[in-house]
Amino acid sequence: MNEKYAPLFEPLDLPNRIRLRNRLVMAPMTHVSSRADGTVSDEEIAYYVRRAQGVGMVVTAATWVAPNGGLPGAPAADRDEVVPGLRRLAAAIREQGAKAILQIFHAGRQSTMTGDLVSASAVPESKEGAAVPRELTEKEVGELVLAYGQAARRAVEAGFDGVEIHGGNGNLLHQFFSPYTNRRSDRYGGTTEGRMTFALEIVAEVKRVVAEAAQSPFIVGYRLSPEEAETPGITMAETLPFVDALAAKGLDYLSVSLVRYDAAPRRGIDDSRPRLTIIQERVGEGLPVIGVGSVRTPEDAVGALGTGIGLVALGRELVMEPDWAKLVAEGREEAIRTTLSVNDQRKLIIPDGMWRLMFSIPGWFPVEEEVGEAAKEAAKDVVEEAT
């Protein structure tokens, strides 16, 4: 192995003393391959097994905690009947030597599972024909807090090593924190502190349930998007006190969702350093930050760690090159694939639904060849939201 890549393979001890074998994380990505009822399919298990062999931790696709917060093809953690399938998934990932993390979420106004579209406020998505969601009542918000806790209990029972509470990428928790989508006047809205209340209550409930259910250390992480383009929208000036509050809850890691790992703040603070550097400095060395965003080459990964963070996640690159970590460890990084061929699906063990989704979003993946007409037609029927 080239010595400059050695930092990627150093172990890391999380705050709860669980040791990760290296600094590489498989980022959560929509795979559109769970069964219609949210139970785990053989396709998605095979997909994760192929990619878990070299990383220290695998974070699953967003798993819904309530039916009105789901997406077609996404897994569920909303009822005890799904635990056997989740148990198979957790065991398959762990058998490859990686820690298995179940990402739990509610899509809010992004959901297309039921006719009950809900959000922080009655603000539709910014796209043509978007339906107007109804504002959740305080009672319903409290019920969802409990739902996240029960999803975490099921993750414990299924043998996962942890859960990641997904609060970014436009989902319900993001909708509550954003001043663009949260127009509430109760305790879940108004000020920055009010808008972070829902997320903090969920973290507290998840940690309470885990303390009761888990017999050994269990990872609890949180994922967020630090800024958004809308005005009014989330800025770093609001995200920094939010990460302070999250860090005070005793999390084991904080995951920051970005398009580019080295991106600087848009607005809100006068600091031109990468957002990852600012956030890691803010929460301190004791709480590792996971950075993600356009990490393709080992140089990118080392560059991401160079921002000061503890862990680096790969998403699209692990889809295209499942052996990424192995090739770097063996000094064969020149063999890493950074593009896709339209004939690669079976070789790379990519589920049918995910394959269609990948080609339905122009530019999401770099493709070597023109997409055939059959693939284009199939893509029309696939959900276009990626979480």
Q: Let me know if residue 117 belongs to a domain.
A: yes
Burial class (CB in 10 A: 0-12, 13-18, 19+), 248: exposed
Q: Let me know if residue 366 belongs to a domain.
A: no
**How many other C-beta atoms lie within 10 A of the C-beta of residue 212?**
10
CATH number of domain containing 11:
3.20.20.70
> How many domains are contained in the chain?
1
Structure confidence at residue 368 (pLDDT): 85
**Helix axes of 138-158 and 197-213: crossing angle, nearest 10 degrees:** 30
Q: Let me know if residue 304 belongs to a domain.
A: yes
If you count DSSP H runs as helices and E runs as strands, how many of each does the chain have, helices first? 14, 13
Residues 133-180 have pLDDT tens digits of 999 999 999 999 999 999 999 999 999 999 999 999 999 999 999 999
Integer angstrom CA distances of residue 367 from 170, 316, 342, 346, 362: 27, 12, 7, 16, 10
CB distance 184 to 138 below 8 Å: no
Query: Span 26-49, mean pLDDT?
Result: 97
Residues 192-225 have pLDDT tens digits of 999 999 999 999 999 999 999 999 999 999 999 9
Confidence of residue 122 (pLDDT cuts 50, 70, 90): very high
Integer angstrom CA distances of residue 227 from 127, 217, 261: 20, 32, 13
Q: Let me know if residue 97 belongs to a domain.
A: yes
Q: Indicate whether 387 pLDDT > 70.
A: no
Full domain range(s) for residue 120 = 3-351
Query: Span 86-90, mean pLDDT?
Result: 98
Structure confidence at residue 369 (pLDDT): 64
Residues 339-361 have pLDDT tens digits of 999 899 999 999 999 999 999 98
Residues 248-286 have pLDDT tens digits of 999 999 999 999 999 999 999 999 999 999 999 999 999
Distance between CA atoms of 207 and 337, rounded to whole angstroms? 40
Q: Let me know if residue 27 belongs to a domain.
A: yes
Residues 42-66 have pLDDT tens digits of 999 999 999 999 999 999 999 999 9
